[in-house]
Structure 1
Amino acid sequence: MKSIIWTIAGSDSGGGAGIAADIKAIESFGGHACTIITALTAQNSMGVEAINAVTIEVLESQFAALESDMPAKVIKIGLLANIQQVEFVAAKLAHFKANWPLPPLVVYDPVAVASSGETLTEDDIIPTLKNTLLPLVDVITPNTQETQILTGHYLIGPSAVRDASEAFFNLGVGAAVIKGGHWDYPQGYCVDYCAVPGQEYWLGNEKIIAPHNHGTGCSYASSMAACLGLGYPLKDAFILAKAYINQGLKVSVRIGQGIGPVAHKGFPHDLADFPTVIEAGSWLGKELELEPWDRPVVAEFSPSETQQLGLYAVVDNCDWLKLCLENGIKTVQLRIKNSDTPNLAEQIQTAVALGQQFQARVYINDHWQLAIEHGAYGVHLGQEDLDTADLVAIKAAGLKLGLSTHGFYEMLRAHNYQPSYLAFGAIYPTTTKDMTGQIQGLEKLKHFVPLMKAYPTVAIGGIDLIRAPEVAATGVGSVAVVRAITEAADPLQAISQLQQAIKV
């Protein structure tokens, strides 16, 4: 079944924002949008002419109808027109979170002022919002003006953005996504910020000059809600929502005589629409005063000789590595996780020699120092290694670099480094490591592969002989296996069958 997303917001008779935009954005990501209308607005591309808040009785009837039949996985909230509505919706959310078997996530886009400048609320609802609603919000998505209204922090620099997010946490909000469309810092760029306590993410791209941008805030929040409904982690929902808005702004057109709506063009598939993941060592990172200052982003590693790495065996000793090479596998990774393993250096030296003997691509997992010392073909690193490994030394030694990614955000972060290949995982649950919350599945893989078509791509995680053909059918250039060979009753037969299975 499709993920059910409720949107609690006002209508827009001009079709550009509010409920109209929410439905389009949610449906673009494959969710099913249910609506609870808080106000009937009379507006067009020129502005808002009237706001007609619905009564609490009308709100109650809409809630009752949906709650009895179509409970939400995520609830997105937009315009709440008065104090009574804020109190009523907050009471409903508290009830759902306390009593539903699967409490809904709540995404709140704090709409108080329309992009045209009109005030959309009837009363001073800010104190009520802070006291009743915000403690129930999992993700808040304000622009700079809304952030200032709710927190009192004027966003004059990156430290103020962090301070504002802390203010939201102190009000009980789970995560803050502060949109940078009106910030213009650094000049000419649009920088968005996402934070949970103890963790932050920055995205940036050149500012898109688009006069027709009505409904961007609603669409942004609804895109995030839809992605969270799909089970995506927050950082992936963040980057996809940003890409969705960038995509829409580039092709938005005038409808009516005033400001036209942002376009809704479906799931973003063009890499040019995705923002940059801002790293501390990049020039944008330095502008934003991200630390550590002295760790540059190293890019353009030695490219792979082929886009099709084929069957990719991951093994934990040189006996298995030799068996795989002897039976025609050309891409193998030696993954010895324990740094205290006896004779580790000798095993890596042997692995390098075997790779040279069989003219194969042998990657060393994690142990980049020994890989450099013994002249390895390449190294494979995880995301956490990007913060600690000497990437300058790896590149200078001419080693190939493979990077693990788990989702859209990590994939775009890895893209900053322009590695030799990208690995996507875990595609299926696996017993070789704990991948809780990081299972990607075939649907995500189908999005990853075309986005990263400039790189050799590898799918890994829980893939066996039965699953290999459907994984290969996504167009991924390599299928990596672990247990499918090392735990097979007949490893040689398993290698032969796997090689045939991925030739789709």
Structure 2
Amino acid sequence: MSNVVWSIAGSDSGGGAGIQADLKAMQSFDVHACTAITALTAQNSLGVEAINAVSTEVIESQLLALEADMKASVIKIGMLANVQQIQLVAEHLTRYKSRWETPPLVVYDPVAIATSGDALTEEDTVDAIKTHLLPLVDVITPNTHETQILTGVYLIGPEAVREAGQKLRGFGAKAIVIKGGHWDYPKGYCIDYCWYDDEEYWLGNEAINTPHSHGTGCSLSSVIAACLSKGYPLKDAFILGKAYINKGLKSAIRFGEGIGPVAHTAFPHQLEDYPQVIEAGSWLGDELDFMVPDDYNYAAGFSPIDGELGLYAVVDTIDWVELCLKNGVKTVQLRVKDAQSPTLEQDIEKAILLGKQYDGRVFINDHWQLAIKHGAYGVHLGQEDLNVADLHAIQKAGLRLGLSTHGFYEMLRAHNYRPSYLAFGAIYPTTTKDMTGQIQGLEKLRHFVPLMKAHYPTVAIGGIDLLRASEVAQTGVGSVAVVRAITEAVSPEQAIVELKQAIDEQ
């Protein structure tokens, strides 16, 4: 996927928002930003003094030049100053989406009202936006004021936010991010909402008390655009954009006599900058009156693990469990894919006994009831299992809990449960499981590790063989999980020796 992103937006002469903010935010995420200027605003920290719209001829010349040589994977749109500009941009987007070999995603930040309260677009542009632009938009990122202007829905609670999101989808937008910086509900907190592909995502954190927040909306949408261009799913782009803004607000500095700009920093690597993933049963979920299912069994805080897990073998038979433990692998997971296996319980009981015999840590994948029954060291669950497993029972039995995560959103969701370890994957494509759309790669792993290593043992999994084990370990991850690297080796015993050496040398 091309890491070229276009920003079609206005210029902020004060340097805090618009094109200037877009360039800084995108650069923070290592993408190349190209620009097409729609307006030259005369503004400073005290407000907007003039909006000088660029002619459609000049805008088109910029777009044609970019299209000829630097096609974008994502196009971010900010301020469009009049109906003619909206129609022109919509015409070009229609052509891009129908004729480009790889149609671009479109992220639209509907700049209707500046933070200072000054109107930035003409009133008659709203109908043109709904008619011409929104049907072409993949992600729209309005703040509460802009949402109300476009939908007529006053955002007084979660149901109103959902209703507004439905109206925006009705206009054609495929995904919605409603920014909560101006929505003080619950009081003292900032709550953000995302809807995509029939799933909704809520994020929340304590409001950051600073007056210097100019350019937050432009910057958030630009981070989302940058992350989408790098292949991140929207829910991850959403949470990274929010963390970036939180970090920028904490570091904001005043320039001039009015409102200062949000600071532009590097990739957010401090967990305290990240918002909470809000779920039913959590404190913020209760404050937002989220419906709690009758069978909900949220639990947080599981038995800890001393030290790192080291080489972590994931195998599917008792023979492999014993071979790995006998040859010095201290962490083994029994993953039996056939839940109807007539020997399932017998195998799990044997694996647990082997773990005790060889003083190893044996985790049971998925089958938490049997793991509890036979006193396993721990159980490993996927994200989907969090909704069905009896977490209280696992916690009460003293079992360690390992959780799989595929991206930043799932990582932060898993953090809600305070598990015993976190596994990140798939790092590389693997034949043992269909991980389409969930390949993380080393770049993401390098971001995951510093976020979570101080809180949990960390595990990398997915497509890791002997040749890749060293580079994975160099990220600082505490454990490398392998499947085929042992079970398909000519000499599994020798493979274990070499894998341990590759990991331990880092």
Tell whether the structures are fold-level matches, with TM greater than 0.5: yes
Task: Name the structure 2 match of 1:348.
Answer: 348
The CA distance in 2 between the partners of 1:195 and 1:216, in whole Å, is 20
Q: Map residues 477-488 of structure 1 onto 2, 5 A cutoff.
A: 477-488=478-489
1:490 aligns with 2:498: no
1:136-183 superposed Cα distances (whole Å, 9 cap, x missing partner): 000000001100111111111101111111111111101000001111
SS of the residue corresponding to residue 502 of structure 1 reads helix
Q: Deviations over 1:430-461 (max 9, x none)?
A: 00000000000000000000000211000000
Quote the residue 2:255 is aligned against: 255
C-alpha distance after superposition, 1:122-142 (max 9, x if no partner): 351111110110000000000
Q: Quote the residue 2:304 is aligned against.
A: 303
Give deviations 1:64-104, integer Å, cap 9, x for gaps.
11000000010000000000000000010010000000000
Match of 1:239 in 2: 239
Does residue 75 in structure 1 map to residue 100 in structure 2?
Answer: no
Q: How far did 1:338 drift?
A: 1.8
Deviation at 1:251, TM superposition (A): 1.1
Partner of 1:143: 143
**Residue matched to 1:97:** 97
Residue in structure 2 matched with residue 472 of structure 1 by the alignment: 473
Farther off after superposition, 490-499 or 77-86: 490-499
- Indicate conservation of the 8 Å contact 2:7/2:22, yes or no: yes
Q: In the TM superposition, what are the counterparts of 1:223-372 in structure 2 within 5 Å? A: 223-294=223-294, 295-306=296-307, 308-372=308-372
Q: Distance in 2 between matches of 1:123 and 1:346?
A: 71
User: Which position in structure 1 is the counterpart of 2:502?
Assistant: 501
Partner of 1:39: 39
CA RMSD of aligned residues (A): 0.9
8 A Cα contact 1:169 1:197, kept in partner: no
Kept in 1, the 8 Å contact 2:297–2:391? The answer is no
Question: Which residue is 2:164 aligned to?
Answer: 164
Displacement of 1:349 after TM fit?
0.3
Shift of 1:309: 0.7
The alpha carbon displacement at 1:289 in A equals 2.4
Q: Matched residues in 1 for 2:495 and 2:430: separation?
A: 18
TM, length-normalised to structure 2: 0.98
Moved more, 3-12 or 164-173: 164-173
Which position in structure 1 is the counterpart of 2:124?
Answer: 124
**Counterpart Cα distance in 2 of 1:334 and 1:197:** 34
Deviation string for 1:292-325 (max 9, x for gaps)?
A: 355253111000021x211000000100000000
> Aligned AA for 1:234?
L
- In structure 2, the partner of 1:411 is 411
Distance in 2 between residues matched to 1:377 and 1:291, nearest whole Å: 34
Helix, strand or coil at the partner of 1:467: helix
The match for 2:393 is 393
Paired letter, 1:263:
A
SS of corresponding position for 2:267: coil
Query: Offset at 1:2?
Result: 6.5
Q: Deviations over 1:409-444 (max 9, x none)?
A: 000100111111000000000000000000000000
Once residues 145 and 275 of structure 1 are traced to their aligned partners in structure 2, the CA distance between those partners, rounded to angstroms, is 22
2:235 match: secondary structure: helix
Shift of residue 337, structure 1, vs aligned partner: 1.9
User: In the alignment, does 2:6 pair up with 1:6?
Assistant: yes
Distance 2:83 2:298 in 1: 49
Distance between the aligned counterparts of 2:184 and 2:219, measured in 1?
Answer: 20
Q: What secondary structure sits across from 2:379 in the alignment?
A: strand
Cα offset for 1:290? 2.0
One-letter code aligned to 1:437: G
Q: Indicate if the aligned counterparts of 2:36 and 2:63 stay in contact, CA closer than 8 A.
A: yes
Question: Deviation at 1:49?
Answer: 0.7
The aligned runs of 1:420-435 (5 Å cut-off) are: 420-435=420-435
Contact 1:78 1:111 in 2 (8 A): yes
Amino acid at match of 2:461: I
In the other structure, the counterpart of 1:458 is 459
Moved more, 241-250 or 279-288: 279-288
* Cα distance in 1 for residues equivalent to 2:288 and 2:170: 23
1:224 partner letter? I
> Deviations for 1:20-68, whole angstroms, at most 9, x for unmatched residues?
0000000000111100000000000011111000001100110011000
- State the aligned residue count: 503
Q: Deviations over 1:370-416 (max 9, x none)?
A: 00000100000000000000000000000000000000000010011
Contact map agreement 2:208 2:250 (CA 8 A) in 1: yes
Question: For each residue in 1:183-242, what CA deviation from the matched residue of structure 2 results, as whole angstroms up to 9, or x when unmatched?
Answer: 111111100000024200000000111110000000000010000011000000000000
Which whole-Å deviations, capped at 9, do the CAs of 1:4-34 have from their partners, x for residues lacking one?
0000000000000000000000000011110
User: Hey, what's the Cα distance between the residues in 1 that align with 2:11 and 2:338?
Assistant: 58
Distance in 2 of aligned mates of 1:55 and 1:76: 19
Change (3 A) 1:183 1:26: same
Partner of 1:15: 15
1:240 match: secondary structure: helix
Q: Counterpart in 2 of 1:219? A: 219
Cα distance in structure 2, aligned partners of 1:122 and 1:412? 40
Contact 1:279–1:297 (8 Å) recurs in 2: no
Contact 1:286 1:293 in 2 (8 A): no
Q: Which residue of 1 aligns with 2:155?
A: 155
Percent identity between matched residues is 70
Q: In structure 2, how many angstroms separate the alpha carbons of the residues matched to 1:401 and 1:291?
A: 26
